[in-house]
């Protein structure tokens, strides 16, 4: 049983998107045009891309030197010739003195799970403590009940506590000896944060009526974090963990209050089958109708202080957060880009009111509490896969966010961010996943993973950055803020890669010109730049290797040159996994990559084959045999 199949999310009706209906035909012709015209010049899909490449003719982008890996369906990790990989840590590895080793027969208890690495590692960051020493903070998005429980179900309070302990964030130190990084199970900074850890709600929505419960009449103290998808890191050294599909953990034997927001966020009596509410009444939404409002936030964690209280930053809005990409603008304002991963949801950015002060780190601690939240509206000239866009402020009293529209104050705008985004006229997107900002240029990329729901039925018309109605493949869209200023209200955008299968289709579903039979993939999800500007793409897609997906094999990681559009496959994961989570050591000699849920839905995987048959989500360390920089 996979209770969180992200490719099976519900859609919901939305006001009509404007224009763009002829896009699919134009995408087809553009592939043909650019495929021919761009072949010798390294040009690729997208008009702005052409200009960008031409403007940087002296710079053909970062070198991508490895020989690509072939697609495959093996139950192992495949990396290029000259590279090697090792398992760094797996679900159930203890991170405290005296902790029990993973038991493949019982799969542990609530107690052992709370002192060991959680399940389904997802977004992660590496914080350096010296050349050969660091701390990793990694999300544990959800639990694979088919392996967590010997009978595959959560049937008791003990089961519920074990599942809750398998969620959250794992923090652990690592050290490198003779080129090999290992987990330090007794280290001082090791910490588990779970679905029951005490946290503080801060920012404009803290203390609001929507966040108050019987157990917390102040509306400022929340218990736990769960469904932590991807991540971010701040320049002041903290970790951001993003709460995604929180709705499915709530349910009730009674009926759920009739709220527009519950419908929009997918909160129902049925839940997603996780079955916490019969044993832990906090998750019974009829008894605690405000408890779901305390989830769906970005949470800030100090990985250097294991006793610190994690803080839910309400100024960043309440959505099904994917990641939080932090940029320090040239003028010192901190900008956070965020995607809301559901069919037809939106892309957001937060701009801090105050500026980052590099000389005074403690002055930056609460920068994420005060600022303006915006949502993106994309527009285009009809038929072009490029255009302009605008950031619309989600500020109470502006853009129609008034009491008459259901927003009495800024807290209400933030708790019901999705409803506010619709009021201001945000563009519906094909499931925004990770957002990544180029390390040296003002350019930002987003993965739009897939969307089967565009069409009249859902009032989600195709539009410029989301040009296909039955989008089984996904695309990567990018934008440049006006004047290279991340605080600007305006931007231009184009499509960097339209994923597809050129061996199965000869229309828009073949993908853009930089998609070939040798690098094709589906459902791009994880996305990050390394310091030299290589763009790393991770997939969470269909691994059937058949029909629309024939020739794509297992989920994979690719490396792209943002200047030329070149894309090469770097890695293939084991059976039925998702590749998600990426972090580099500062010397970039090691890349940490997440293998999430190998063998999901009882698919035949034994990864990582550490002496037992139970497949376990794991973090692997990848490096070059000659010790060089990964990717070059």
Summarize as ranges the residues that interact with ligand FEO (CB under 6 A). Answer: 6, 141, 229, 244, 322, 341, 433, 525
Residue 244 binding target from Ca ion, ligand FEO, none, CB below 5 to 8 Å by type: ligand FEO
Looking at the DSSP bridge assignments, the partners of residue 437 are 444
Residue 578 binding target from ligand FEO, Ca ion, none, CB below 5 to 8 Å by type: Ca ion
Give the range of 5-13, 36-44, 50-58, 420-428 binding Ca ion by CB under 5 A.
5-13
Please name which of 143, 135, 173, 177 lies closest in space to residue 160, comparing C-alpha atoms: 143
Smallest distance from the beta carbon of 251 to ligand FEO, in angstroms?
A: 20
Residue 291 binding target from Ca ion, ligand FEO, none, CB below 5 to 8 Å by type: none
| 119 near Ca ion, rule: CB under 5 A | no
| 6 near Ca ion, rule: CB under 5 A | yes
Q: Of 115 and 538, which CB lies nearer to Ca ion in the complex structure?
A: 538
CA-CA distance, 374 to 34, in Å (whole number)? 34
Please list the alpha-helical segments (H only) found in 480-609.
Answer: none
Q: Going residue by residue from 22 to 41, which x/- string records binding to Ca ion, judged by CB under 5 A?
A: --------------------
Smallest distance from the beta carbon of 341 to ligand FEO, in angstroms?
A: 3
3-state secondary structure 480-494: EEHHHCCCCCEEEEE
Please name which of 284, 276, 251, 282 lies closest in space to residue 266, comparing C-alpha atoms: 251
SS3 380: strand
SS3 31: helix
Residue 284 binding target from ligand FEO, Ca ion, none, CB below 5 to 8 Å by type: none
Smallest distance from the beta carbon of 539 to Ca ion, in angstroms?
A: 8
Subset of 437-456 contacting Ca ion (CB under 5 A): 449
Residue 163 binding target from ligand FEO, Ca ion, none, CB below 5 to 8 Å by type: none
Q: How many chain residues are in contact with Ca ion, going by CB under 5 A?
A: 7
Query: Which of 146, 525, 530, 542 is the binder for Ca ion (CB under 5 A)?
Result: 525
- Beta-carbon contacts of 11 under 8 Å, excluding residues fewer than 6 positions away, are 342, 343, 344, 453, 458, 460
Query: Which of 578, 581, 623, 631 is the binder for Ca ion (CB under 5 A)?
Result: 578
Give the range of 83-91, 95-103, 433-441, 474-482 binding Ca ion by CB under 5 A.
433-441
Q: Of 494 and 540, which CB lies nearer to Ca ion in the complex structure?
A: 540
- Beta-carbon contacts of 127 under 8 Å, excluding residues fewer than 6 positions away, are 134, 135, 136, 137, 233, 237, 239, 303, 304
Residue 530 binding target from ligand FEO, Ca ion, none, CB below 5 to 8 Å by type: none
Buried b (16+ CB within 10 A) or exposed e, 306-325: eeeebbbbbbbbbbbbbbbb
Q: Of 322 and 369, which CB lies nearer to ligand FEO in the complex structure?
A: 322
Nearest 5°: the CA angle 586, 174, 439 is: 20
* 226 and 256 Cβ atoms separated by less than 8 Å: no
CA-CA distance, 588 to 128, in Å (whole number)? 12
Smallest distance from the beta carbon of 120 to ligand FEO, in angstroms?
A: 9
SS3 498: strand
Smallest distance from the beta carbon of 139 to ligand FEO, in angstroms?
A: 9
* 460 and 11 Cβ atoms separated by less than 8 Å: yes
Q: Of 229 and 394, which CB lies nearer to ligand FEO in the complex structure?
A: 229
Query: Which of 243, 340, 390, 540 is the binder for Ca ion (CB under 5 A)?
Result: 540
Smallest distance from the beta carbon of 507 to Ca ion, in angstroms?
A: 25
Question: What is each CA distance from 246 to 13, 291, 294, 361, in whole angstroms?
Answer: 20, 11, 10, 32
Q: Of 64 and 229, which CB lies nearer to ligand FEO in the complex structure?
A: 229
* 511 and 497 Cβ atoms separated by less than 8 Å: yes
Q: Of 144 and 487, which CB lies nearer to Ca ion in the complex structure?
A: 144
Q: Of 6 and 412, which CB lies nearer to ligand FEO in the complex structure?
A: 6
Residue 144 binding target from Ca ion, ligand FEO, none, CB below 5 to 8 Å by type: none
Please list the alpha-helical segments (H only) found in 370-490.
Answer: 410-415, 417-424
Smallest distance from the beta carbon of 9 to ligand FEO, in angstroms?
A: 9
Which position's Cβ is nearest Ca ion? 540
Buried b (16+ CB within 10 A) or exposed e, 536-568: bbbbbbbbeeeebbeebbbbbbbbbbbbbbbbb
| Binding residues for Ca ion (CB under 5 A) | 6, 433, 449, 525, 540, 578, 596
């Amino acid at each position: 049983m996979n209770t969180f199949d992200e490719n099976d999310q519900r859609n919901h009706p939305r006001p009509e998107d404007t224009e763009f209906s002829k896009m699919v035909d134009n995408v087809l012709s553009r592939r043909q045009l650019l495929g021919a015209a761009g072949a010798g010049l390294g040009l690729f899909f997208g008009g702005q891309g052409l200009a960008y490449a031409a403007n940087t003719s002296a710079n053909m982008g970062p070198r991508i030197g490895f020989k690509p890996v072939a697609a495959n369906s093996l139950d192992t990790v495949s990396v290029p010739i000259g590279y090697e990989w090792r398992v760094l840590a797996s679900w159930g590895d203890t991170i405290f003195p005296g902790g029990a080793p993973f038991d493949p027969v019982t799969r542990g208890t609530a107690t052992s799970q709370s002192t060991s690495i959680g399940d389904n590692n997802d977004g992660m960051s590496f914080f350096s403590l010296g050349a050969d020493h660091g701390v990793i903070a990694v999300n544990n998005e959800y639990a694979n009940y088919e392996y967590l429980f010997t009978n595959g179900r959560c049937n008791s309070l003990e089961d519920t506590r074990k599942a809750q302990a398998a969620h959250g964030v794992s923090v652990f130190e690592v050290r490198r000896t003779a080129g090999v990084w290992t987990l330090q199970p007794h280290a001082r900074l090791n910490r588990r944060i779970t679905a029951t850890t005490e946290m503080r709600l801060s920012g404009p929505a803290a203390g609001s009526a929507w966040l108050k419960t019987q157990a917390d009449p102040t509306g400022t103290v929340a218990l736990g974090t769960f469904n932590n998808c991807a991540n971010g890191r701040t320049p002041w050294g903290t970790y951001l963990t993003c709460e995604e599909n929180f709705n499915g953990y709530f349910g009730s034997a009674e009926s759920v209050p009739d709220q527009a927001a519950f419908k929009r966020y997918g909160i129902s009596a049925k839940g997603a089958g996780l079955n916490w509410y019969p044993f832990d009444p906090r998750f019974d939404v009829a008894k605690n109708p405000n408890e779901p409002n305390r989830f769906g936030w970005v949470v800030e964690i100090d990985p250097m202080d294991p006793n610190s209280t994690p803080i839910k930053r309400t100024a960043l809005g309440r959505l099904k957060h994917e990641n939080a990409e932090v940029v320090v603008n040239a003028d010192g304002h901190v900008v956070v880009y965020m995607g809301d991963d559901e069919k037809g949801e939106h892309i957001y950015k937060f701009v801090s009111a105050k500026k980052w002060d590099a000389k005074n780190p403690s002055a930056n601690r609460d920068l994420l509490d005060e600022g303006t939240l915006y949502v993106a509206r994309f527009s285009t000239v009809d038929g072009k896969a490029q255009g302009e866009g605008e950031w619309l402020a989600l500020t109470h009293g502006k853009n129609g966010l008034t009491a008459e529209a259901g927003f009495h104050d800024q807290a209400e705008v933030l708790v019901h961010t999705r409803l506010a985004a619709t009021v201001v006229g945000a563009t519906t997107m094909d499931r925004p996943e990770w957002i990544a900002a180029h390390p040296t240029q003002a350019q930002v990329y987003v993965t739009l993973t897939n969307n089967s729901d565009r069409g009249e039925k859902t009032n989600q018309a195709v539009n410029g950055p989301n040009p296909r109605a039955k989008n089984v493949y996904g695309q990567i869209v990018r934008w440049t803020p006006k004047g290279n200023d991340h605080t600007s209200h305006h931007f231009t955008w184009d499509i960097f890669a339209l994923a597809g299968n050129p061996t199965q289709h000869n229309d828009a579903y073949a993908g853009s010109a930089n998609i070939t039979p040798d690098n094709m993939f589906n459902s791009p999800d994880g996305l990050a730049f390394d310091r030299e500007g290589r763009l790393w793409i991770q997939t969470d897609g269909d691994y059937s290797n058949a029909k629309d997906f024939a020739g794509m094999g297992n989920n994979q990681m690719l490396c792209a040159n943002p200047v030329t559009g070149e894309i090469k496959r770097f890695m293939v994961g084991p059976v039925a996994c998702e590749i998600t989570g990426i972090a580099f050591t500062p010397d970039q000699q090691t890349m940490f990559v997440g293998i999430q849920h190998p063998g999901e839905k009882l698919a035949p995987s034994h990864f990582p084959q550490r002496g037992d048959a139970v497949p376990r989500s794991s973090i692997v360390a990848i490096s070059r045999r000659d010790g060089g920089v990964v990717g070059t």
